[in-house]
Chains A and B, each alone.
Chain A
Amino acid sequence: MSARNTLRAMPTLLKVGFAESVAYRAEMLIWVLSTTMPLVNMVLWMAVARSAPVGRFGQADFVGYFLATFAVRQLTSSWAAWLINWEVRQGTLSMRLLRPISPLWAYAAENIAGFPMRLLVAVPVTVLAVVLVGSRAVPQHAWQWAFFVLAVLGGWAISFLANVTIGALSFFLGSSQKVMEVWLVLYFVCSGYMYPVELLPSGLRTVINWLPFRYQIGLPVELMTSAHEWREALALLGAQWAWVAVLFVLSVGVWKQGVKRFAAFGG
């Protein structure tokens, strides 16, 4: 599976992935509707902030924060772990392995190809945020936009690579669904998905800064709502992409070891 093969196959993979995401648009809509948790939390925090602001957050800031969370979640989510689990159990993975291109590229392409459809959800939500909160719901300067785009890409990469790593554990465990569940719980609690991370006590915040979860949702959202000066933003982006690198190495390593085992018992 040379790099040239992969590059040549990419446009086709993307096209197929896009066609699939259009075909299953009703399903996607259900998925989008089932990520309403930020809205629950938005309402909750608005109630908390009704009498007085919490930290630097007034009611409007919470609206901006959680609508951004909703939009970012659409753009950075990945479901490769479920797919890998399923394909390993059903044995259909062997079909993918026969192709002259790594299945990992195929999973990535399927994910990326869903992007246009996901933008269709994320953009209106962002527009709504601007209508409700004003222009501070989106980055103010060009560099902030650039940082935001980088953060979304990094957030997606962390989600995807973590999904691949956990999915590949199913080669060893039979099923890694439970591991994924544990990951998801930590993600909900630590990522800034349910509350802005800065509202946590500082000791806990330090721990969270060392974990990958905040960089999946929290950082893109913070950059979207211009919570950081550029120096701080740059440091956080550095930490995010360091996690991308770590997870990249880890996922490829686990995947390669796992496929060997799969070949061993698949024959």
Chain B
Amino acid sequence: MGTVRRYWRLLGIQLKASGLLALQYRADFFTEGVTSLFWTFTALAPLFVVFGERPVVEGWSFGESLLVVGWFTLLQGILEGAINPSLTGVVEHIRKGTLDFVLLKPADAQFLVSTQRFLPWRAFNVLTGLGLFFYAFTKLGRAPSVTGVLSSVLLLGTSTLLLYSLWILTVSAAFYVVRVDNLTYLFTSIFDFARWPSSVFQGVAKGALTIFFTYVIPLALMTTFPAEAMLGRLPLHALGGAVVGSVVFAWIARRVWQRSIRHYTSASS
């Protein structure tokens, strides 16, 4: 119990440091807001064009797809505000050989690197995502059910866990191919596939892509599942699968991370 308390306190300290740093750059609040709205607009532009052509694409109407984009935007906020900044720091540490300082500290290395930096203003995307949900349900002309909302909140947890684990796996790769600072771009471009309901990919290669994005890189679980949960059409076993799957995925990511850490030889050795 003592260790859990200690880690909570550590998290508090790290959050406070990032928070103070963010308060120094208050103008960022405005610019982040504007850029977030801008990017949301790019995400929406193809949606308008596509649904200008067809009312329903692979079983998804405009309003329903908006929910997927909403989840995409929301998770992007979490990714860019809470996950990306710290873990990009790891790549930097590896390159400069300063990861030793982190490893020497008497706390779990994965915890330390994952909490070292937050960019709170990026959370603006979360607000944009919520706005999209609101707009989508106005379009659909109904409100989400209570169970729908509850299960989507649960899925928010699993999605965040999945996203974080995927990032841990990507960062682990940096231990082996050190000279790669663009991993972030690669990652975000793969994440791009999550903008669309996963069933859209069914028509290609006999559904291989859908299977790939559900089980290998579980993008479908991150945006399509929560959207379906909100619409109240996600089967219970899929919900259970998402919870179990994300925990297993996180466990694998942790094991890979630990292996990579052992593989890591510092700059001095």
Binding site for B on A (CB under 8 A): 26-27, 30-31, 33-37, 40-41, 43-48, 50, 54, 178, 181-182, 185, 188-189, 194-195, 199-201
CA distance A35 to B192 in the complex (A): 10
CA distance A37 to B228 in the complex (A): 24
Binding site for A on B (CB under 8 A): 31, 35, 38-39, 41-42, 45-46, 49-50, 52-54, 57-58, 177, 179-183, 185-186, 188-190, 192-193, 195-196, 200-204, 209
Q: Could you tell me if A36 and B190 are in contact, using CB atoms closer than 8 angstroms?
A: yes
CA distance A32 to B181 in the complex (A): 14
What residues of A have a CB within 8 angstroms of the CB of B181 in the complex? 27
CA distance A30 to B204 in the complex (A): 24
Which of A31, A40, A182 is the most central at the interface, judged by chain B CB atoms within 10 Å of its CB?
A40
Q: Could you tell me if A40 and B195 are in contact, using CB atoms closer than 8 angstroms?
A: yes
CA distance A45 to B177 in the complex (A): 35
What residues of A have a CB within 8 angstroms of the CB of B179 in the complex? 26-27
Q: Could you tell me if A181 and B46 are in contact, using CB atoms closer than 8 angstroms?
A: no
Q: Could you tell me if A41 and B46 are in contact, using CB atoms closer than 8 angstroms?
A: yes
What residues of B have a CB within 8 angstroms of the CB of A45 in the complex? 50
CA distance A45 to B39 in the complex (A): 21
CA distance A108 to B193 in the complex (A): 33
Given the known interface contacts A40-B196, A44-B200, A181-B35, the answer about A189 and B182 at a Cβ–Cβ threshold of 8 Å is no
CA distance A43 to B208 in the complex (A): 12
Can you list 10 A-B contacts (CB < 8 A)? Answer: A34-B185, A34-B186, A43-B200, A44-B50, A47-B58, A47-B202, A194-B42, A195-B46, A195-B49, A199-B53
CA distance A41 to B46 in the complex (A): 9
Q: Could you tell me if A30 and B183 are in contact, using CB atoms closer than 8 angstroms?
A: yes
CA distance A48 to B201 in the complex (A): 10
What residues of A have a CB within 8 angstroms of the CB of B35 in the complex? 178, 181-182
CA distance A201 to B53 in the complex (A): 11
**Interface of B, helix, strand, loop or mixed by DSSP:** helix
Q: Could you tell me if A48 and B188 are in contact, using CB atoms closer than 8 angstroms?
A: no
CA distance A155 to B203 in the complex (A): 33
CA distance A102 to B58 in the complex (A): 54
CA distance A44 to B203 in the complex (A): 9
Q: Could you tell me if B196 and A33 are in contact, using CB atoms closer than 8 angstroms?
A: no
Q: Could you tell me if B46 and A194 are in contact, using CB atoms closer than 8 angstroms?
A: yes
CA distance A182 to B35 in the complex (A): 8
Given the known interface contacts A26-B179, A44-B50, A46-B203, the answer about A178 and B31 at a Cβ–Cβ threshold of 8 Å is yes
For residue A41, give the distance in angstroms from its CB to the closest CB of chain B. 7
Which A residue sits closest to B60, measured CB to CB? A47
Q: Could you tell me if A36 and B41 are in contact, using CB atoms closer than 8 angstroms?
A: no
For residue B40, give the distance in angstroms from its CB to the closest CB of chain A. 10
CA distance A185 to B182 in the complex (A): 20
For residue B174, give the distance in angstroms from its CB to the closest CB of chain A. 11
B31, B54, B182: the one contacting A30 at CB < 8 Å is B182
CA distance A83 to B217 in the complex (A): 33
Q: Could you tell me if B200 and A47 are in contact, using CB atoms closer than 8 angstroms?
A: yes
What residues of B have a CB within 8 angstroms of the CB of A47 in the complex? 57-58, 200-204
Q: Could you tell me if A40 and B192 are in contact, using CB atoms closer than 8 angstroms?
A: yes
Given the known interface contacts A30-B180, A36-B189, A178-B31, the answer about A48 and B38 at a Cβ–Cβ threshold of 8 Å is no
Q: Could you tell me if B189 and A188 are in contact, using CB atoms closer than 8 angstroms?
A: no
| Sample of 15 more A-B contacts, CB < 8 Å, known A33-B189, A185-B38 | A30-B180, A30-B182, A31-B182, A31-B185, A40-B195, A43-B209, A47-B57, A50-B203, A181-B35, A182-B35, A188-B42, A189-B45, A195-B46, A199-B52, A200-B49
What residues of A have a CB within 8 angstroms of the CB of B203 in the complex? 43, 46-47, 50
CA distance A159 to B258 in the complex (A): 43
Q: Could you tell me if B186 and A33 are in contact, using CB atoms closer than 8 angstroms?
A: yes
CA distance A38 to B23 in the complex (A): 38
Q: Could you tell me if A54 and B182 are in contact, using CB atoms closer than 8 angstroms?
A: no
What residues of A have a CB within 8 angstroms of the CB of B49 in the complex? 194-195, 199-200
Which of A35, A43, A178, A199 is the most central at the interface, judged by chain B CB atoms within 10 Å of its CB?
A43
What residues of B have a CB within 8 angstroms of the CB of A44 in the complex? 46, 50, 196, 200
CA distance A18 to B181 in the complex (A): 21
What residues of A have a CB within 8 angstroms of the CB of B177 in the complex? 26
Q: Could you tell me if B39 and A48 are in contact, using CB atoms closer than 8 angstroms?
A: no
CA distance A189 to B39 in the complex (A): 10
For residue B81, give the distance in angstroms from its CB to the closest CB of chain A. 17
What residues of A have a CB within 8 angstroms of the CB of B209 in the complex? 43
CA distance A54 to B46 in the complex (A): 14
CA distance A189 to B220 in the complex (A): 25
Which A residue sits closest to B195, measured CB to CB? A40
